[in-house]
Amino acid sequence: MARQATAVKRPYGTGRRKSAIARVWLKPGEGNIQINGRDMKHYLGRPVLEILVKSPLVHLGMETNFDVVATAKGGGITGQAGAVRLGISRALIEYDTELRGGLKSGGFLTRDARVKERKKYGRKKARRGFQFVKR
């Protein structure tokens, strides 16, 4: 039996931060945000991260227009929150390309490229060498 394709296409965006990746879908709703099947407040646990995730929607004044469904993998909670933020911004652009200017001026479309630096041989950590002993 063939599956019937759904005609409704929800705006989608991929976000990345550190080693975290988030897939984000928007759907019309009241402003509920779910990450990995859990409510954002319970998943993130810190109000600062909640503000970070909501910031693109608040910047455009659309925080009550969409429900956000996101799946996040890798990294920690902070990296995942940053990835969801970028994913929401990209999904909003897919929803309406006119929103790009407002998101760009707010700095929501820039992927934060900072990642952990690798450890080099002959060193204790990425940059710290071993303690020097004269005698």
1 pLDDT more than 90:
no
Query: Is residue 4 in some structural domain?
Result: no
Q: pLDDT (tens digit, 9 = 90+) per residue, 64-78?
A: 999 999 999 999 999
The first and second tokens of residue 98, run together, are 């006119």
pLDDT, average across residues 33-57: 96
Quote the domain boundaries for residue 17: 12-105
Query: Is residue 59 in some structural domain?
Result: yes
Query: Is residue 48 in some structural domain?
Result: yes
- pLDDT grade for 135, boundaries at 50, 70 and 90: confident
The total of structural domains in the chain comes to 1
Query: Is residue 6 in some structural domain?
Result: no
- The total number of residues shown for the chain amounts to 135
Query: Is residue 89 in some structural domain?
Result: yes
Specify whether the CB–CB gap between 15 and 21 falls below 8 A: yes
The first and second tokens of residue 119, run together, are 């450890």
**What is the CATH number for 96?**
3.30.230.10
Look at strands 66-73 and 33-35 and give their pairing. parallel
Q: Is 131 helix (H, G, I), strand (E, B) or coil?
A: coil
pLDDT value of position 121: 94
Query: Is residue 127 in some structural domain?
Result: no
The first and second tokens of residue 7, run together, are 């005609």
Q: Is 100 helix (H, G, I), strand (E, B) or coil?
A: helix
Largest Cα–Cα distance of the chain, in whole Å? 80
Query: Is residue 97 in some structural domain?
Result: yes
Query: Is residue 98 in some structural domain?
Result: yes
Specify whether the CB–CB gap between 22 and 84 falls below 8 A: yes
Give CA–CA dist 94/128, Å, rounded.
Answer: 44
pLDDT, average across residues 53-65: 95
